[in-house]
Amino acid sequence: MGVTKTELFTAEQSRIAELAKAFAHPARVAILQHLAKTQSCICGDLVDVLPLSQATVSQHLKELSRIGIIKGNVQPPRVCYCINEAVWEEAKATFGALLALFEQNTCC
Amino acid sequence: MGVTKTELFTAEQSRIAELAKAFAHPARVAILQHLAKTQSCICGDLVDVLPLSQATVSQHLKELSRIGIIKGNVQPPRVCYCINEAVWEEAKATFGALLALFEQNTCC
DNA sequence: ATAGATAATCGCAATAGTACGATTAATAAA
DNA sequence: TTTATTAATCGTACTATTGCGATTATCTAT
């Protein structure tokens, strides 16, 4: 994306944006849905599930790790990825609160 | 972002990603928070609230409109923007369902 | 030690997103 | 009609993201 002036916004707004980025790409949505549903660690078979190359999947996993919403357990040559419960709860609370800010318009 | 292969994912996954993009930038979070809180239409004073130029704010408003989460009432020379209740509810339902997919890990 | 399996990383190409000054469009007010 | 006000759009510059082939790193099994 171009230059985002994060320093001009509150830490809360920046964190919301970061968490939202975890869901802002179909591939990452697919990864998170898969990890959430299978209730168990998934290793490289994410590559089989997704229509993307191993390199690209690895990149998305890295981004999700950076955000913190998933964590990886290395047990070479495999890596076991799963949802980070704490951050998932953070996302739940964050989006819950944000979306609760609005009920209905008194104007338009 | 580079080339997102949307055609390789489900319509649901793509819509989730699109809705998430509404929240995936601090400026758009700020805009949505402001529109949600003030409970009334805001016109150009969004530009005063945000640390960005008029052109940039207008661009973010356009993107939010494209996603559908806000709507604009033109009453020149002003434009009155407000939350689109239907899409806001869609976001609530969508993220609610998505975040409810996961409870806790049975592995890691 | 060698071979196999898995996943991270590098390097590259191409598109998307951010930001802003300047201009344009559209209307109200004078 | 002229002027002021407001917001969209254009053009440009630059950064971020996406994607993939190829390579590398790491560990297991033989």
| Range ranked top by mean pLDDT from A60-64, A78-82, B40-44 | A60-64
* Domain A10-94 class, CATH top level: mainly alpha
If pLDDT is split at 50, 70 and 90, which confidence band does B45 have?
confident
Mean pLDDT (chain B, rounded): 91
Chain A residues in contact with B91 (beta carbon < 8 A): 99
B37 or B91, which is more confident: B91
What is the structure's pLDDT at B106?
76
If pLDDT is split at 50, 70 and 90, which confidence band does B44 have?
confident
Mutate to test the interface with B, among A19, A99, A106 (most CBs of B within 10 A): A99
pLDDT, average across residues A52-64:
97
Q: Is the pLDDT of residue A40 over 70?
A: no
Token duo for residue B8: 């390789």
Contact A107 B24 (CB under 8 A): no
Q: How far, in Å, CA of B67 to CA of A10, rounded?
A: 24
Rounded to the nearest angstrom, the gap between the alpha carbon of residue A78 and the centroid of all alpha carbons in its chain is: 21
Closest chain B C-alpha to A81 CA, distance in angstroms: 8
Q: How far, in Å, CA of A57 to CA of B21, rounded?
A: 20
If pLDDT is split at 50, 70 and 90, which confidence band does A93 have?
very high
Q: Taking the domain B10-98, which CATH number applies?
A: 1.10.10.10
Which residue in B has a C-alpha nearest to residue A39's C-alpha? B105
From the CA of A85 to the C1' of D27: give the distance in Å: 28
**How many residues are present in chain A?**
108
Contact B26 A36 (CB under 8 A): no
Residue nearest to nucleotide C9 (CA to C1'): A55
Q: Is the pLDDT of residue B42 over 80?
A: no
Least confident of A3-7, B61-65, B73-77: A3-7
Percent above pLDDT 70 for chain A: 92
CB-based burial, A63-84: b 16+ in 10 Å, e otherwise: bbeebbbbbbeeeeeeebbbbb
What is the structure's pLDDT at A4?
72
Chain B window 31-60, residues with Cβ within 7 A of nucleic strand C:
52-56, 59-60
Q: Is the pLDDT of residue B25 over 80?
A: yes
Indicate the domain borders of chain B. 10-98
